[in-house]
Amino acid sequence: GGPAAQQGGHGEDVSFRWQCVEQPIGKQLFQRFLEGAPGLAAAGALWAELEAYDRCEEGERSGAAAAIRGRFFSPGGAQHCAFLSAQATAPPSG
């Protein structure tokens, strides 16, 4: 579905992206929820690290990606996100 599929009965956008990513207060509240919820803190930390990665200089990205993979994607990592699929955590090919 297009934009109509993401809107509620009053023309308000109720998509996750709009409420929890694009709206600053919604994003802050959702990230605080993740930080305080048992089992979801790693997801919140991963989100923060991915945003930091997006702001990295090109020369720093390889090291930042390796640190993210080790911390969040590898079994035994400090904040392993076991809920992610193998496809989501696979190193990029090419």
pLDDT digits (tens, 9 = 90+) for 44-71: 999 999 999 999 999 999 999 999 999 9
Range of the domain at 63: 16-88
Sequence letter at residue 11: G
Structure tokens at 52: 């930091």
Residue 25, domain member (yes or no): yes
Residue 33, domain member (yes or no): yes
- pLDDT per residue over 7-21, tens digit each? 555 667 889 999 999
> CB burial class (10 A; 0-12, 13-18, 19+) of residue 27?
middle
Residue 11, domain member (yes or no): no
Residue 30, domain member (yes or no): yes
Residue 27, domain member (yes or no): yes
Residue 63, domain member (yes or no): yes
Residue 29, domain member (yes or no): yes
- pLDDT per residue over 76-86, tens digit each? 999 999 888 98
Indicate which CATH number applies to the domain containing 51: 1.10.167.10
In whole angstroms, give the CA distance from residue 66 to residue 27.
26
Residue 83, domain member (yes or no): yes
What is the count of structural domains for the chain? Answer: 1
